[in-house]
Structure 1
């Protein structure tokens, strides 16, 4: 099976031009100790929050809940909106078998959530999963587009809209 490699570009004038825009949900999950749920992506080795593409016949809330369970083993409930993130500064290049398969400009709806069950587990989409104190985030390599969602979710009272 051919491995797909993900390359995230941020404010890069030399990034390839997008070939698609796809909606996705991400979730900023905080536990009772105010720690943030992070996972490490095996396709680019960066830390991130649970995120994934919206499927047909699925709401954005259902997508966020499903992606979190699939990627981390944690069951969540959605409690609010972090924001809608659509900046053209973020482009994702997917390379399969040495060839560019897709270049995506994301349309992400980031949701606030809290855990209601499950337990941390690694998956094909997460080589590591852990709870992190927000004060320790600087010690984790997080893409600027994802860090933008996290920072807004941790500090703002109103949803962000690009």
Structure 2
């Protein structure tokens, strides 16, 4: 199923669902950031996804990272909240989503990198390498906020 992301676009479709989601800036021992190339858009993104009714947001981030990358992680902090109503995600199945995303900081504790059916590539990237990757600007904003090492999380 393909998806299209809209941002501050007057022609964006009207949302028909609200999804609470978690994502994670996962770093390795060198400080490189783990990204996945999404199968549905072809863009690089942080691992993450929707929270299930039986879990917490940190638990959702841990589960989603495991499902999408094969890695076990430990949550180490909070990058921020991302709730901009101008960010709309439309799927080919008719869902038009407004997403409420909490982005965590995390470190790898185990597992092995393994591509899931949601991605075509997985890789750790240095800060300089990130500049040349095709990424939606909402993903880039989360990475930027991570690198800013803010005193308090981004609230937006």
**TM-score normalised to structure 2 length:** 0.96
- Structure 2: give runs of 5+ residues left out of the alignment: none
- Structure 1: give runs of 5+ residues left out of the alignment: none
Partner residue in 1 for 2:78: 81
Report whether the alignment pairs 1:140 with 2:120: no
Query: C-alpha distance in 1, partners of 2:57/2:68?
Result: 16
Report whether the alignment pairs 1:112 with 2:105: yes
Partner residue in 2 for 1:45: 42
Name segments (4+ residues, structure 1) moved above 3 Å.
none
Partner residue in 1 for 2:154: 160
Task: Please show how residues 12-51 of structure 1 align to structure 2 within 5 Å.
Answer: 12-51=9-48
Cα distance per residue 1:51-74 (max 9 Å; x no partner): 100001100011000000100111
Task: Please show how residues 115-126 of structure 1 align to structure 2 within 5 Å.
Answer: 115-126=108-119
RMSD value, Cα: 0.9
Cα distance per residue 1:59-106 (max 9 Å; x no partner): 00110000001001111000000011000121000113xxxx111111
**TM-score normalised to structure 1 length:** 0.93
Q: How many residues align?
A: 155
Report whether the alignment pairs 1:102 with 2:99: no
Query: C-alpha distance in 2, partners of 1:70/1:156?
Result: 27
